[in-house]
Amino acid sequence: MVLVKSSSGIRGTLGGKVGNGFSPIDIIQFAAGYIFWIKKKYKNKKKFIIILGRDGRVSSDLFQQFLIITFQSLGVNIVNIGLSTTPTVGFAVINEKADGGVMLTASHNPKNWNGLKMFNSYGEFLSEKDFKKLIYIVEKKYFNFSSYKKLGKLYYKKNYIQKHIEKILSLPIIDKNIIQKAKLKIVVDGINSTGGIAVPLLLKYLGVHVIEMYCDPHGDFVHNPEPIKKNLREICKKVPYLKANLGISVDPDVDRVVFVCENGDFFGEEYTLVSIADYILENQLGPVVSTLSSSHALKDLSIKKGVSYYSTPVGEIHVVKKMKKVNAVIGGEGNGGIIYPNLRYGRDALIGIALFLTQIAKFSNIPLSKLKKRYSNYFMSKKKIRFYSHERIKILLKTIKKKYKGKKMDFSDGIKIYFKYNEWIHIRKSNTENIIRIHSESTSRKRADFLSKEIIYEIKKL
């Protein structure tokens, strides 16, 4: 059983003892702690409103009831928007002028997981400082439940995904007409979650011929839901077979998006942000931000465009914080997460899709295999290893630091080691699972794999 607590939210496997997995008791405790944190932060208010959404997981419909009961028992009003996406909840918080929001999801984790993503009144994830306060509240059980006279009320609002899409399409940088004229044919893998609702709806608004795969949001994922190459073999075969222009895949809560080329090649999750940044910078020059684990291709693009590039520790809140500080025009993560500040400071697959389709339509419907050749050609190796103690991680990082003494290193998020010829390796503890992530990049696939294997060898020696 696993329960992971980080600024990316609470998530864990279902079942087991309280505190060792994502149980009903844990849901109630974290939900109560979150409300108490909100009441302390916005203490001058008399009544509070929370947005509540859920993904398509089998357990999300059930667990939603625990959240509703907890919030109402704490005297908070709830706007339940039902089946939704994480970025839609963030948008709804802003649109309803709510005090916060909760999305019931475990993001890219498998179907035996679930979790809570929590927002502040700006429709953004909690900062590390605020998240630590929340955890302290939960540990001390500082909860004050309401009398029957002050119970919260429950409201339902439908069609919030549609409102979110309408807001995206109102942005001047999205050219709906040029996309319609391109007459695109697109295969969509909705992983049987809310991407199966949101992505086809967006594409139909854009005049796209949509071919749906796994777009029934019943939560029975047919493959590992993380949108990476090894999990998307079926759509990679289907796109060329159906002679589609491209394929689109998202994770279960629709904050990450990846594309498949017309010939069935994987466009690459790292190149989602690179290509969209290219389009943004054609229209507006300014700083770009991504994470230490993201491809060097984005930095190369920023140099080519003559703009500043910044990297941050992995995690949406770190990217957002830096984007605000440097007034970035685009940012995100190399996992397919796009943050476009003119919409909202948060990862959003739907704005990513709209920007990407505008880009290829303006290039006279350029094939994706050709588009990718515009950018630096890097190869990335992404490995992960389970860990069993924080002490072992400390020993590992100390060992690696000693082994690569003399190399340029960054210690802001685990260890990132820089080599010549744009090579690097990044070793860090995951924010979302009990694993160590090992990402390496080089202009050679063989070299990228070698760098990762060297680190794995060091781990296995411990």
Query: How do residues 421-436 score in pLDDT, each as one tens digit?
Result: 789 999 998 877 778 8
Q: Where in the chain is the domain with CATH 3.40.120.10?
A: 3-158, 164-374
Q: In whole angstroms, give the CA distance from residue 284 to residue 161.
A: 28
Tens-digit pLDDT profile for residues 384-424? 888 766 777 778 888 888 888 889 999 999 999 999 878 99
Q: Identify the helix (H) or strand (E) that includes residue 385.
A: strand 379-386
Residues 6+ apart with CB under 8 A from 126: 7, 118, 119, 120, 134, 317
Q: What is the pLDDT of residue 411?
A: 92
CB 349 within 8 A of CB 199: yes
Superfamily for domain range 3-158: Alpha-D-Glucose-1,6-Bisphosphate, subunit A, domain 3 (3.40.120.10)
Greater model confidence, 455 or 415: 415
For residue 263, report the phi and psi dihedrals to the nearest 5 degrees.
-95, 5
CB 33 within 8 A of CB 100: no
- Per-residue DSSP letter, 411: -
CATH of 164-374, one of 3.30.70.20, 3.40.120.10, 3.30.420.40, 3.40.50.11030: 3.40.120.10
Query: For 154, what's the count of Cα atoms within 13 Å in the CB-facing half-sphere?
Result: 14
- Domain at 379-461: CATH code: 3.30.310.50
Q: In whole angstroms, give the CA distance from residue 94 to residue 157.
A: 15
Tens-digit pLDDT profile for residues 132-146? 999 999 998 888 888
- Looking at 195-295, list the stretches that DSSP marks H as alpha helix, in order from N- to C-terminal side: 195-205, 233-241, 269-283
Three-state SS at 324: helix
The pTM (predicted TM-score) of the whole model is: 0.95
Tens-digit pLDDT profile for residues 351-363? 999 999 999 999 8
Q: In whole angstroms, give the CA distance from residue 212 to residue 230.
A: 20
Q: Where in the chain is the domain with CATH 3.30.310.50?
A: 379-461
Tens-digit pLDDT profile for residues 266-295? 999 999 999 999 999 999 999 999 999 999
Whether the per-residue pLDDT at 147 is higher than 90: the answer is: no
Residues 6+ apart with CB under 8 A from 410: 292, 416, 418
Question: In this predicted structure, which of 160-164, 337-341, 456-460 has the lowest mean pLDDT?
Answer: 456-460
Within 10 A of 442 (CB to CB), how many other CB atoms are there?
22
